[in-house]
Amino acid sequence: MLGYKAPSTVEEAIGILAGASGVAKILAGGTDLLVQLRSGRAKPDVIVDIKKIEGITGIRQHDGGFVIGAATPGAEIGECKALAQAWPGLVEAANLIGSTQVQGRASLAGNLCNASPAADSVPAMIAARATCVVVGPKGRREVPVESIATGPGRTSLTRGEFILEFHLPKRPPRAADAYLRFIPRTEMDIAVVGAAVNLTLDSVGVCSDACVVLGAVAPTAVFVPEAAGALIGSKCDDKALAALDAAARRACKPIDDKRGTIEYRTKVAGVMARRAAAIAYQRAGER
Ligand SMILES: Cc1cc2nc3c(=O)[nH]c(=O)nc-3n(C[C@H](O)[C@H](O)[C@H](O)COP(=O)(O)OP(=O)(O)OC[C@H]3O[C@@H](n4cnc5c(N)ncnc54)[C@H](O)[C@@H]3O)c2cc1C
């Protein structure tokens, strides 16, 4: 019979996860896990609901940056004005997940640890250079978000480990981000391509730092340093955007399926990256 535990401390949760005799699964919002349970894709022996752990939901400012509890639902992320002001791209990515009902539950950690190549918040978190605090039997470690997903449905987390919180760094002036995805429908669909761009401008509007990350075009989210390089030193003009588009297309290693051919996904990746860069540039210029 499937067991259910709802620990109220990190230590208790680690003890249950590490000591489980069969497969133990974390439950955050359950918007992936419950679907997988019903379809029989996931067959854990025990479910560990982390939402009763103090601080695992909520957003706070710290050292000029933000700490987001791992199980914080998308709705709460969208309602945090300070976060949306500093990281509009990350917030728009988190709020693209599912419907109003799904937003009431779906968390960043669930989106990351479900490890879908098409997860919407993941490229935006990576472009933001977010880190996550992983806790487990060996203690606590802070790692970049991109080190978690290792392939579709797989993560680098070891037995007994889970994500406690995400850290977003302090923003310099004139910095902004943007996330765009392409879906065949208007909502409630899986990204055919996702593109996140995070950039910083100098005092005359020249891009001094950039990070470009694509989703749904490879087994895990893809950093595109060449695309970032195309933006740095430019005012996001047509030439820079064309170079970024070409670099984004070169970085794609997509699958060919009913949702899009390799050629289609590759082309759309360039277009999404270019549009996201233009939005991030405009936002940064307005700060
Ligand atoms: C109708 C519908 C629409 C959706 N639309 C989208 C969409 O547009 N874009 C998108 O990206 N996703 C979408 N999803 C998928 C899902 O909502 C997201 O992936 C969501 O962010 C998962 O978060 P959760 O808190 O519900 O995760 P859960 O279902 O609770 O967990 C998901 C996985 O992550 C693990 N996990 C959860 N928290 C932790 C943690 N703290 N540490 C370690 N492991 C953890 C769980 O064990 C499980 O394996 C949709 C789902 C539904 C049902």
- pLDDT tens digit sequence for 174-191: 999 999 999 988 778 889
CA 94 – CA 190 distance, rounded (Å): 13
**SS3 readout for 30-90:** CCCHHHHHHHCCCCCCEEEECCCCCCCCCEEEECCEEEEECCCEHHHHHHCHHHHHHCHHH
Q: Which residues line ligand 1 (CB under 6 A)?
A: 25-33, 35, 50, 70, 96-98, 102, 105-107, 109-111, 113-114, 119-120, 157, 162-163, 188
- Residue 171's pLDDT is 96
- pLDDT tens digit sequence for 57-107: 999 999 999 999 999 999 999 999 999 999 999 999 999 999 999 999 999
Relative to the CA of 134, which ligand 1 atom is closest?
42
Nearest CA to ligand 1 atom 49: 114
281 CA to middle of ligand 1, Å?
A: 30
Nearest CA to ligand 1 atom 33: 114
- pLDDT tens digit sequence for 131-169: 999 999 999 999 999 999 999 999 999 999 999 999 999
Residue spans of beta strands (DSSP E) within the chain: 3-5, 24-27, 46-49, 59-62, 65-69, 131-136, 139-144, 149-151, 154-155, 162-168, 175-182, 193-201, 207-215, 222-223
- Residue 216's pLDDT is 96
To test the pocket of ligand 1, the residue of 23, 34, 96, 113 to mutate (highest count of ligand atoms within 8 Å of its CB) is 113
163 CA to middle of ligand 1, Å?
A: 13
To test the pocket of ligand 1, the residue of 47, 102, 154 to mutate (highest count of ligand atoms within 8 Å of its CB) is 102
At 204, the pLDDT band (50, 70, 90 cuts) reads very high
Higher pLDDT, residue 214 or 259 = 214
Say if residue 259's pLDDT is above 90.
no
Tell me if 150 sits within 8 A of 240, measured CB to CB: no
- Residue 189's pLDDT is 83
Residue 21 has φ and ψ, to the nearest 5°, of -80, -25
